[in-house]
Structure 1
Amino acid sequence: MIRLAAVALLAAAAPLQAKDSLGVFGDWGAFRDELRNGGGPRCYAIAMPAPSRLQRDHEPYATIATWPRRAIRGQVHFRLSRDLRDAAAVTLNMNGKRFTLTGGGADAWAQDRAMDAAIVAAMRSASRMTVSSVDRSGRRFSNTYTLDGASSAMDAATVACARR
């Protein structure tokens, strides 16, 4: 069910010209699209977190993207379920490793390319990851993702953008 939801989410997520499905791998999907105005391809793996009955301001998802024309590979991005409190820390936990992300609004990213690479490497050996922070009203929240299929989806996205 999460697999199909991730595919449906992707179909509506970004206002880009063309989206090609590269496949669904476990709980992750992989896609390739062409950016508008000759921006070239963007390829990415995407997943939705585990369902929750708690209030959500946004439909959360995680992406790992490659942008060849921008020389970016493995860029980590999280759309969070809640709007962040100003200056709130955003933490990603996997296998006992903690990463402090940067973010604003309802989005969070790795602080730099080295952290992107470290997160992607950790994802390859973990079974789940949890992003947590504090929302505008001061309540803690988290989004938990299973990583079943994440490695295959990331690999499919990387290969799709490597082809010319």
Structure 2
Amino acid sequence: MSVDRLVAPLFVGFALIVSAPAAAREALGIFGTWGAFRDARPPRCFAIAEPAGAPRGEWRPFLSVARWPARGVAGQIHVRLSRARAAGAPVYVTIGSFKARLVAGGVDGWAADARADAAIVAAMRGGDRLVVTSNGVDGRRFTDVYPLRGAATAIDAATLACAKRG
């Protein structure tokens, strides 16, 4: 049995519990280790994945690429880290030779602006894996690795779903 077949049922369960009531969330599809979903209220569509081999802790780490039509936001990157980061520790995203520093807050990270979001998504489309790195509260470096197989398709599915509903 492939890893994708093992991960997909767990992933769907995870995505259904993130932020919105299950009745308001529409699953658009699972693509590799990525899923695409649409929420009615507030209207948003997103592609989301968990890092490979993520440890289970107080929260579930993820990386999402979201579209918020009412806010005019498209391709917004959001990372929930697998571990709490040290105060002031930078958070980086690396995809092949591409590297970007995220704006970090607590256990989350975002691209600095829409241009940085677009650059990260463009790199994701051509990469094999995305690596998030930071330093934990214990001072040790940690990495969260996201396979990108299926990411572009999930992002496209989310984009199209929001374009249809506005």
* Letter of the structure 1 residue corresponding to residue 33 of structure 2: D
| Other-structure match for 1:127 | 128
2:41 equivalent to 1:32: no
128-137 vs 6-15, which deviates more? 6-15
Identity of matched residues, %: 44
* Residue correspondence of structure 1 range 82-93 to structure 2 within 5 A: 82-93=83-94
8 Å Cα contact 1:57/1:83 also seen in 2:
no
15-24 vs 93-102, which deviates more? 15-24
| Other-structure match for 1:21 | 27
2:5 equivalent to 1:4: no
Distance 1:27 1:76 in 2: 17
* Letter of the structure 1 residue corresponding to residue 47 of structure 2: A
| Other-structure match for 2:3 | none
3-state DSSP class of the match of 2:40? Answer: strand
* Residue correspondence of structure 1 range 1-164 to structure 2 within 5 A: 1-16=6-21, 18-35=24-41, 39=42, 41-52=43-54, 56-164=57-165
Distance 1:79 1:6 in 2: 15
Q: Which runs of 5+ in 1 are unaligned?
A: none
* Letter of the structure 2 residue corresponding to residue 33 of structure 1: D
TM-score for both structures, normalised by structure 1: 0.92
Q: Which runs of 5+ in 2 are unaligned?
A: 1-5
Distance 1:138 1:34 in 2: 41
Shift of residue 96 of structure 1? 1.3
* Residue correspondences, number: 159
Relative distance call for 1:55 and 1:23 in structure 2 (3 A) is closer
1:28-66 per-residue CA deviation (whole Å, 9 max, x = no partner) reads 00000022xxx4x100000011014x5744311110000
8 Å Cα contact 1:2/1:48 also seen in 2:
no
1:52-88 per-residue CA deviation (whole Å, 9 max, x = no partner) reads 4x57443111100000000000000001011111110
* Letter of the structure 2 residue corresponding to residue 18 of structure 1: A
Shift of residue 3 of structure 1? 2.5
